[in-house]
């Protein structure tokens, strides 16, 4: 008997004030299923693209978590907060004379230093584990946490608008950021403020892209969860956005699901997908996702993660 529970991927526009786990809980109720996960946590303050897997779609989340992302953000110069964003109250403030000296050229120069590969120290109030315990839990317990710098890639960091209000004790800078997974935009705000000598934190953050999943695909969570649930992105369609694709016939699909190594079928994306040795690909049969498989150096396919499907 086939599984009739929801299977696929959903792009959600996370509302402000709700945690990523809170979104998962609401999606479980909306779709009437327990098996829901998300890729790439968004802080409660942030809004925008949160990609969720339902049913067997949770098996694809590991391939979504590591993709690049795009954000729109507002950086406030003139004060810092313990969390580097507006989820906590400002605790340090710039000298008005220092803030008055900051101009557009100085801001652009500070932003330019953070483009490309950089070594970034994540915000202490983050989900990174330190000796098995979340960093934010250690901070809230009163510990002084110093995280190690990590190499991240900021492929684009563009200033959209600057609003000078030095007389009010701040300057707001709207930016767009394209970055690798693991980049903390609030840490970028912190570091720009430090570089300029005036402190800085985020007051707004909206994620507009996770890999090939974009905000214009996103579903808004309704207040009434009794409303009909939307259609999901199919497992095959989602896999095509994440991995090179190999198509196989039903015989080879069955063999893969039985753990056998089979000869690859036709490459759907890229003619050189197997040239570099072992590589992960999505295996499709009759527009259904059979497995995520490894391409062996001899050209054979070995299933890594199987997706149970009905084959004629």
Catalytic residues: 43
Q: Which among 72, 9, 85 is positioned nearest to 209, based on CA atoms?
A: 72
Among candidate residues 57, 61, 59, 62, the one with its CA nearest the CA of residue 33? 57
> What's the number of CA atoms in the CB half-sphere (13 Å) around residue 237?
11
């Amino acid at each position: 008997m086939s599984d009739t529970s929801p299977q696929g991927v959903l792009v959600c526009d996370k509302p402000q004030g709700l945690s990523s786990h809170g979104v998962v809980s609401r999606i479980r109720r909306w779709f009437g299923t327990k098996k829901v996960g998300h890729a790439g946590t968004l802080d409660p303050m942030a809004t925008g693209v949160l990609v969720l897997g339902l049913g067997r779609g949770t098996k694809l989340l590991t391939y979504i978590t590591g993709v690049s992302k795009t954000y729109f953000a507002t950086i406030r110069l003139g004060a810092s907060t313990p969390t580097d964003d507006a989820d906590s109250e400002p605790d340090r403030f710039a000298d008005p004379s220092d803030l008055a000296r900051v101009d557009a050229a100085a801001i652009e120069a500070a932003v330019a230093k953070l483009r490309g590969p950089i070594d970034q120290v994540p915000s202490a109030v983050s989900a990174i584990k330190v000796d098995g315990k979340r960093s934010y839990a250690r901070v809230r317990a009163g510990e002084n946490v110093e995280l190690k710098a990590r190499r991240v890639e900021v492929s684009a960091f563009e200033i959209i608008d600057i609003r000078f209000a030095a007389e009010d004790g701040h300057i707001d800078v709207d930016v767009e950021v394209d970055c690798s997974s693991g980049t903390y935009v609030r840490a970028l705000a912190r570091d720009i403020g430090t570089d300029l000598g005036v402190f800085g934190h985020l007051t707004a953050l909206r994620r507009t892209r996770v890999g090939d999943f974009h905000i214009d695909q996103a579903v808004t969570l309704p207040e009434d969860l009794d409303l009909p649930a939307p259609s999901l992105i199919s497992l095959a369609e989602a896999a095509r956005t994440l991995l090179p694709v190999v198509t196989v016939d039903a015989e080879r699909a069955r063999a893969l699901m039985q753990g056998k190594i089979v000869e690859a079928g036709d490459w759907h994306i890229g003619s050189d997908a197997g040239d570099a040795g072992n590589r992960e690909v999505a295996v499709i049969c009759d527009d259904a996702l059979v497995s995520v498989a490894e391409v062996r150096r001899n050209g054979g396919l070995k299933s890594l993660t199987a997706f149970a499907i009905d084959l004629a």
